[in-house]
Amino acid sequence: MSQDAPPLDRAAATRPLPKPGILDIHPYVPGKAKAEGFAQPIKLSANENALGSSPMAQAAFESAEQSLHIYPDPRASIIRTAVAERYRLEPERLIFGCGSDEVFQLLNQTFLEPGDNMVQGQYGFAAFAIGAYACQAEVRFAPEPGYRIDVDELLKCVDARTRIIFLANPGNPTGTWIPFSEIRRLHEALAPSVVLVLDGAYGEFASDPAFNDGLDLARTASNVVVTHTFSKLHGLAALRIGWGYAPAEIAAAVDRIRLPFNTSIAAQRAAVAALGDEDFQRASLELVEIWRPWLTQQLGGLSLEVVGGSATNFVLVGFPRTAGRTAAEAEVFLASRGVLVRSAHLYGLEDHLRATIGLEDQNRALVEALADFMKQ
């Protein structure tokens, strides 16, 4: 954001002008969904669930057909109760949103005013900063050496005007994670006035015992919010539903600005059903656990550098400059073969592509296409 631009006289302008900073925001770029010449490309560009969604969730979604004329429950009570029971949380401390994206936006809006700053990692998920800039706050990017969040670097960015820290664990687009001991160390070093948001969108895919999504800290801390989504493990990205677990005071403050009907009846019902479908969740995790190491090993064999230790349903693939083939060229080549992956250049990772772990034939198609590309 151009902080130094002279203030505009918006009242004297010949047309309505957005408030300062808005037009400097880079709009969110979603993963590509189309490949020319392919009616159904292999879409590995948005970290969706390769297995689709739970049949139980689909049936619940269909049941909403009879209720299209009715406003949804503004408290989202059925999913509130289900999440509270499943994770042993106090229902009144839950915030539901149109995806966890909306929970981030609500937190930014609640805590940031012009002159404040938000701190995140260098490769932090784009939605964090978009929401902070919209509040005319400064965004501070802490270096992530080795593509990993570094607590000391985050702390170096914090000052008296820091109101919020966003930390996706595991991260997107890096796929890396930090242990709970580091999260605790970060929390202990923060003033109690700073909100620490732990985004667990991919937390379910992290199987190492040293991983913890932070709920155990959030239960007792007065400044920690943990978010989760139904878009990834549960495969409900289209329905836009996510949640946050916050201290009661934060949940109550957020509730004052939340749009009253921000999650739909279909989303609430499908999310309850998805949460109860443990078979689907298990199958989704197994798919990732089988193919993540396979992809890592195969891509490594092509002289590509898979960023180590992905704890997510995707891998971040580096194209070494010495290989003479760039990530941008690879993205175009893969699309010509009907395989869509995600460029990471907007995160400053020009030499990397991010690929979602797909079904067996999709993963094999990705590796074959990349092998052909590297041979060229």
Ligand X SMILES: Cc1ncc(COP(=O)(O)O)c(C=O)c1O
Would you tell me which residues interact with ligand X (CB under 6 A)? Answer: 47, 99-101, 125, 168, 172, 199, 201, 229, 231, 237, 242
Least distance (Å) between residue 101 CB and ligand X: 3
**Which residues, in sequence order, are CB contacts of 334 under 8 Å at separation 6+?**
340, 341, 353, 366, 369, 370, 373
CB nearer to ligand X: pick between 138 and 199:
199
Which residues are CB-neighbours of 352 under 8 A, at least 6 positions away? 173, 307, 316, 317, 318, 319, 327, 344
Least spacing, CB of residue 368 vs ligand X, in Å: 26
Minimal distance, residue 129 CB to ligand X, in Å: 12
DSSP 194: S
In the bound complex, what is the minimum distance in angstroms from residue 240's beta carbon to ligand X?
7
**Phi and psi dihedrals of 27, rounded to 5?**
-60, 150
Q: What is the CA radius of gyration of the chain?
A: 21
**Whether the Cβ atoms of residue 45 and residue 338 lie closer than 8 Å to each other:** no
Alpha-carbon distance 226 to 197, whole Å?
Answer: 6
Is 100 or 284 the residue whose CB approaches ligand X more closely?
100
Q: Which is nearer to ligand X, 45 or 362 (CB)?
A: 45
Q: H/E/C letters for each residue in 283-322?
A: HHHHHHHHHHHHHHHHHHCCCCEECCCCCCCEEEEECCHH
To the nearest whole angstrom, how small is the minimum distance from the Cβ of residue 168 to ligand X? 4
Alpha-carbon distances of 88 from 23, 84, 85, 244, rounded to whole Å = 43, 5, 5, 14
Shortest Cβ distance from residue 100 to ligand X (Å)?
4
Q: Which is nearer to ligand X, 215 or 374 (CB)?
A: 215
The residue among 176 and 298 lying less far from ligand X, judged by its C-beta, is: 176
Select from 370, 322, 331 the least CA-distant residue to 354. Answer: 331
- Comparison of 110 and 229: residue with beta carbon closer to ligand X: 229
Q: Which is nearer to ligand X, 111 or 125 (CB)?
A: 125
User: Which tokens in the block code for residue 370?
Assistant: 């990349």
User: What are the backbone dihedrals phi and psi of residue 279, each rounded to the nearest 5 degrees, phi first?
Assistant: -65, -45
Residue bearing tokens 């893969």: 334
Which residue's Cβ lies closest to ligand X?
Answer: 99
What is the distance between the alpha carbons of residues 191 and 184, in angstroms, rounded to a whole number?
13
Tokens of 133: 């800039």
Between 168 and 367, whose beta carbon lies closer to ligand X? 168
Please, which residue, 72 or 337, has the CB nearer to ligand X? 72
Output DSSP code: residue 294: H
Helix/strand/coil for 281: helix
